[in-house]
Amino acid sequence: MLQIIAAWNLVHPQDNMAKAVSDIKLRGNNKETFLTGEFANGIASKKIRCLSVSNIADKHCPTRRDLYFYKGINRLRRAREQQLWGNKAGYIVEEYVESVLRSKAWKATKAYSEVIKKRNGCHSRFIKENRESLNRLEELEVSPSVKEGDTDWLLTLLSHNGRAELGLNILHSLLKENDSLDAKHVQIKEKVKSHPTQIGMNSPVIPDFIIPEFGIVGDIKTGVEFAPFFQLTCAGYALAYENENGHTINWGIIYFFPTRNPSAYVRPITFAQVYIFPIDDELRQWFLDIRDEAYRIISRRDPPSFPDVDKRKTCLYCKFRNHCVDCGLELQEQ
């Protein structure tokens, strides 16, 4: 995650893109962003369950059957969920990235060979401390219908990414100025206590990282490729933070780490990608529309219908796949 510091300081979006955030109206403390009375009363009376930011933003199933099975009035028991390599890998990546941010290994490092040596030591400690989780990840590599991932290759990518992060932080230590964004400004997993009946999100809301002094909120994402709806998560976090204390958040950062290679022919060394964007009214409205749609769905007595046949590729990676198959969903082998 250290590369977000170098990227921000080199891009200076607060100067170059100031117009994009100069007149934001849909702040989290503005009543225009609040839930309708029907949903707010439903949450207050516990007739419907309050949603998290990820429940709202992570729209994988085209009809949102998965959301209904999580939070709907007639939801399924969690014991029926299917564990998946991709989800487990996401947690491993988050732990690794956060460990790199907290590391002090960059101090007094002046050569590439030292960077490699120090990161190799940190990498070995990470594997030792997370051996149980990594063993479980290896067990999940092959599902009944699809090969999902390669744990050894994921660890290789994380190791190389850690070296790059350390190198960028050394560069930052040489270039930083008094007003530069620095690692000390980044708050990891800070709890945001918004009002669920107003903004429609569970409290506390816990962003992967937040940088209040610079008006930034960020999320760590994993998968095969970047998806536009990833940005919705940052919009939700921004609204929640503003709802708590009225302070403004204008910028979102997605730190995307590719955990799986979409090609069967090559295995390139890849690095995390940083996406910096304004959380403007257009993005906020998109989140609010998705939020309201999600509450309409979970308020129903019955789950949504199956996705159309041409939209069922994501079904193979759904935690509720087996349940839908039992209910009559037909899937073709991919």
The identity of residue 87, as a single letter, is N
Task: Identify the three-state secondary structure at position 303.
Answer: coil
- Domains in the chain and their CATH numbers? 19-326 (3.90.320)
β-strands 251-258, 273-278 pairing: antiparallel
Q: Are strands 216-223 and 251-258 parallel, antiparallel or unpaired?
A: parallel
Q: How far apart are CA 193 and CA 131, in angstroms?
A: 33
Q: Let me know: does 221 contact 203? Beta carbons within 8 Å.
A: no
> What pLDDT is stored for residue 106 in this prediction?
64
d(CA 207, CA 191): 7
| Size of the chain, expressed as the number of residues it contains | 334
What confidence score (pLDDT) does residue 265 get? 66
Q: What is the pTM of this model?
A: 0.91
pLDDT in the model for residue 263? 62
Q: How many CB atoms lie within 10 A of CB 178?
A: 5
Q: Where are the beta strands (DSSP E) in the chain?
A: 187-188, 209-211, 216-223, 251-258, 273-278
pLDDT in single tens digits along all 334 residues of the chain: 789 999 999 999 988 888 999 999 999 999 999 999 999 999 999 999 999 999 999 988 899 999 999 899 998 876 466 778 888 999 999 999 999 888 776 677 789 999 999 999 999 999 999 999 999 999 888 765 556 688 999 999 999 999 999 999 889 988 999 999 999 999 999 999 999 999 999 999 999 999 999 999 999 999 888 988 999 999 999 999 999 988 999 999 999 999 877 665 677 888 999 999 999 999 999 999 999 999 999 999 999 998 888 888 878 778 888 888 888 787 655 4
pLDDT for 239: 98
Q: What is the DSSP string of 83-117?
A: P-HHHHHHHHHHHHHHHHHH--TTTT--SHHHHHH
Q: What are residue 254's DSSP bridge partners?
A: 219, 275
